[in-house]
């Protein structure tokens, strides 16, 4: 079947198409109601099916001939540790961790925050929650205490699963003080904090709520899989919103499992038994989808890597892993490829390894810029597959669907919409635009399986954020166009969320933090193009009258403030003190124009500008 035939089959008969795909998984009770709408008009997949994601990902394979196949390979160059778990071993570890959670009173529907580094126990924690029907919410280990506190208050977890520390290239980050601080800030208090002790830094378990992971596991009995409905939630994953308050994207078990299983072959051309490596972090949606769930649902071997593309120990790190474990497909962010290119421009380190196992390079998280695409193409001569998707969808909205039909590639394009995603380009009034006309990227409802069905605890925000702008469509928040051959070009966000090395961060939230400084009268943060990280936040601040601090002192304090509130992940390092900000007569700051100036793009001075000289000052800074 060609791509177009596959796409049309899902478009013309979505229920029949996805019912067929659901039969590739073992349900406790196969679904009959494939696509339904609730009282709020929201679409759901496989509502009456009964299943368990951890069973489908582990027990099924143990029972069907893959018990001794490698399921998970943990490779940590920062601790010189390597460990392989077979499907049987991983199932048994997960069952014990699930038993530990049950001993702590965690039940179906309870929330569990997973705040862990890239160790095998992070994946075990996620699967253990799934096993007993609890809802996990993974918080990226780089986030600061205030960010963790917001998520604690929103998700209201019964338990936090963590480790004593995370390990960066040159430093050890102790997690327990961050958790304790977050709980002090938060209004909600979890019943227990479970800590996996690492030798690099041992946490002090000083509260009644604190539990030692190893001790608790030693007393636990393996837990059986709890049946859940297809529409019961598997996880909450927070993503930045333009208001600064993160949105808890919810993922339902049934649609997620079906889409993950389908995508491994359809999008990535990976077969059961193959080794697939998503060089990401479990704190991101890529880590959820393609480190933990999709490869295991498909019967593959997945790699969980605690290291960096460079400096652990060098820019050959990725190629070493690929060669050592026989990786068929590598999936990572353009940031990683750019970092490797910067350190090893001729790819000399790659030549030291046998990469004959590697069949394709996959990229997502941000736009794969043509320069990086060309470098990969020249140095490796492999198919390069750019994906475009979002935390909200859980899998690719657009890609070269290599397992169905390997299509020609156009640098700068994510190729074509994936099966089930009816992508349209709309103008400001919601009218569908023609080929090569740039507008708002939207997806005609219903969305395919795995896409979010709400924002945790805030249905109104879900509707306002995604469904009400263009009735009958999901609005992506990105702009772009479809060319005359059906290729989608994503040009960037239409709101003020920027993408820093794959992390979506709210400039509005950064402005709120900067604005708290007593010397700041007003401020603006824009995303400045960066060759390595995609975008970097750049701050512009106007000082209050009478401030005697130097620009250097202001800059240093603001950088510290953002780091304390958001974490080092924000990469906030550039601040310009300006006499005024360019605004419209109504007082709206001209962030888009400022961004265009700093990124060297063409721009038109808005007719509504209040003070044209203010733009000249921004131009001088750029110069």
Whether 416 maps to a domain, the answer reads no
Angle, alpha carbons 239-243-245 (nearest 5°):
50
Q: At 396, is the secondary structure helix, strand, or coil?
A: coil
Query: Does residue 56 belong to any structural domain of this protein?
Result: yes
Least confidently predicted of 4-18, 194-208, 393-407, 497-511: 497-511
Residues 395 and 502 in one domain: no
Whole-angstrom Cα distance, residue 348 to residue 369?
Answer: 22
Residue 445 included in any domain: yes
- 431 and 538 inside one domain: no
Residue 473, domain member (yes or no): no
- Coil, helix or strand at residue 361: strand
Residue 238: which region, alpha, beta or left (left: phi > 0; alpha: psi -120 to 50)? beta
Rounded to an integer, what distance in angstroms lies between the CA atom of residue 306 and that of residue 285?
Answer: 17
Q: Are residues 92 and 236 in the same domain?
A: yes
Residue 193 in domain:
yes
Residue 63 confidence (pLDDT): 98
Query: 598 with 450, same domain?
Result: no
**573 φ, ψ (degrees, to nearest 5):** -135, -5
Q: In degrees to the nearest 10, what's the CA dihedral of 99, 102, 106, 108?
A: 80
Residue-wise pLDDT for 516-563, tens only, equals 898 887 788 999 988 888 889 999 998 887 889 999 999 999 999 999
- Please give the residue range of the domain that contains residue 426: 3-405+421-467
Q: What is the CATH number of the domain that holds 583?
A: 3.30.300.30
Residue % of the chain over a pLDDT of 70: 96
Question: Do 148 and 178 form a contact (C-beta atoms < 8 A)?
Answer: yes
Do 383 and 246 reside in the same domain of the chain?
A: yes
What does pLDDT average to over the chain?
93
- The verdict on residue 114 lying in a domain is yes
Question: Tell me, what's the pLDDT at 391?
Answer: 93
**Cα separation of 166 and 201, whole Å?**
9
Please check whether residue 479 lies inside any domain of the structure.
no
Residues 383 and 509 reside in one and the same domain:
no
449 lies in the same domain as 501: no
**Are both 68 and 192 inside the same structural domain?**
yes
Q: Residue 21 domain-assigned?
A: yes
Same domain, 434 and 510: no
Cα separations (Å) of 47 from 229, 239, 250, 403, 448? 6, 25, 15, 28, 14
SS3 471: coil
Query: Based on the structure, what is the number of domains in the chain?
Result: 2
Average pLDDT over residues 475-482: 91
Q: Which two tokens stand for residue 269?
A: 């051309």
For 110-166, how does the pLDDT look when each residue is reduced to its tens digit (9 = 90+)? Answer: 999 999 999 999 999 999 999 999 999 999 876 789 889 999 999 999 999 999 999
Residues 463, 502: one domain?
no
- Contact assessment for residue 528 and residue 536, using Cβ atoms and an 8 Å cutoff: yes
Q: Which of 90, 91, 73 is nearest to 82 (CA)?
A: 73
Concatenated DSSP letters for 558-619?
HHHHHHHHT-GGG---EEEE-S---BBTTS-B-HHHHHHHHTT------TTBS-HHHHHHHH
Average pLDDT over residues 598-614: 76
Tell me which of 208 and 336 has the higher pLDDT: 208
Q: Model confidence at 586, in pLDDT bands (50, 70, 90)?
A: very low
CATH label of the domain that carries residue 241: 3.40.50.12780
Give residue 402's pLDDT band: very low, low, confident or very high (50, 70, 90): very high
Calculate Rg over the CA atoms of the chain: 24
Strands 488-493 and 473-482: antiparallel
Residue 432 and residue 522 in one domain: no
Is the domain of 575 the same as that of 436? no
Q: What is the per-residue pLDDT across 94-106, written as a single tens digit (0 to 9) for each?
A: 999 999 999 999 9
State both tokens at 74.
């943990």
């Amino acid at each position: 079947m060609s791509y177009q035939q596959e796409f049309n089959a899902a478009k013309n008969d979505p229920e029949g198409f996805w019912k067929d795909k659901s039969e590739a998984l073992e349900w406790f009770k196969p679904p009959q109601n494939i696509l339904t709408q609730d009282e709020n008009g929201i679409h759901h997949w496989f509502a009456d099916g009964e299943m368990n994601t951890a069973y489908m990902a582990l027990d099924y394979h143990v029972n069907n001939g893959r018990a001794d196949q490698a399921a998970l390979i943990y490779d940590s160059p920062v601790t010189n540790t390597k460990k392989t778990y077979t499907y049987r071993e991983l199932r048994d570890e997960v069952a014990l961790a699930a038993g530990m959670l049950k001993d702590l009173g965690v039940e179906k529907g309870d929330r569990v925050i997973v705040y862990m580094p890239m160790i095998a126990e992070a994946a075990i924690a996620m699967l253990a929650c799934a096993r007993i029907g609890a809802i996990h919410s993974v918080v990226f280990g780089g986030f600061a205490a205030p960010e963790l506190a917001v998520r604690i208050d929103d998700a209201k977890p019964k338990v936090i699963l963590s480790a004593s520390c995370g390990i960066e290239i040159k430093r050890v980050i102790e997690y327990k003080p961050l958790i304790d601080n977050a709980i002090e800030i938060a209004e909600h208090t979890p019943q227990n904090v479970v800590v996996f002790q690492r030798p690099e830094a041992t946490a002090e378990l000083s509260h009644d709520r604190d539990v030692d992971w190893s001790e608790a596991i030693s007393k636990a009995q393996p837990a059986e899989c709890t049946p859940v409905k297809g529409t019961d939630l598997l996880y909450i994953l927070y993503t930045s919103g333009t208001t600064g308050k993160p949105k808890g994207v919810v993922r339902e078990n049934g649609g997620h499992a079906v889409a993950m299983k389908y995508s491994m072959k359809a999008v990535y051309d990976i077969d059961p038994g193959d080794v697939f490596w998503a060089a990401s972090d479990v704190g991101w949606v890529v880590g959820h989808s393609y480190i933990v769930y999709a490869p295991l649902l498909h019967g593959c071997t997945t790699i969980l890597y605690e290291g960096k593309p460079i400096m652990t120990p060098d820019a050959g790190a990725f190629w070493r892993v690929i060669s050592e474990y026989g990786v068929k497909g590598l999936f990572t962010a353009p940031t990683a490829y750019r970092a490797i290119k910067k350190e090893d421009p001729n790819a000399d380190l790659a030549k030291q390894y046998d990469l004959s196992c590697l069949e394709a390079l996959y990229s997502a998280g941000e736009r794969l810029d043509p320069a990086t695409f060309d470098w990969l193409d020249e140095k490796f001569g492999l198919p390069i597959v750019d994906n475009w998707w979002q935390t909200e969808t859980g899998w690719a909205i657009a890609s070269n669907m290599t397992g169905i039909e390997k299509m020609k590639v156009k640098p700068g394009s994510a190729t074509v919409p994936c099966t089930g995603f009816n992508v349209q380009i709309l103008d400001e009034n919601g009218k569908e635009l023609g080929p090569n006309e740039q507008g708002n990227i939207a997806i005609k409802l219903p969305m395919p399986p795995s896409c979010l069905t709400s924002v945790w605890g805030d249905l109104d925000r879900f509707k306002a954020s995604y469904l009400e702008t263009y009735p009958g469509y999901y609005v992506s928040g990105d702009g772009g166009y479809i060319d005359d051959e059906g290729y989608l070009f994503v040009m960037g966000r239409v709101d003020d969320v920027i993408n820093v090395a794959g992390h979506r961060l709210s400039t509005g939230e950064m402005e709120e933090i900067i604005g708290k400084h007593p010397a700041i009268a007003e401020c603006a943060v824009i995303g400045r193009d960066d060759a390595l990280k995609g975008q970097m936040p750049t701050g512009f601040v106007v000082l209050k009258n009478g401030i005697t601090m130097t620009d250097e002192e202001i800059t240093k304090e603001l950088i510290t403030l953002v780091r304390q509130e958001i974490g080092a992940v924000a990469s906030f390092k550039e601040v310009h003190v300006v006499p005024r900000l360019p605004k419209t007569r109504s007082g709206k700051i001209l962030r888009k124009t400022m961004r265009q100036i700093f990124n060297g793009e063409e721009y038109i001075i808005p007719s509504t500008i209040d003070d044209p000289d203010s733009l000249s000052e921004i131009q001088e800074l750029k110069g």
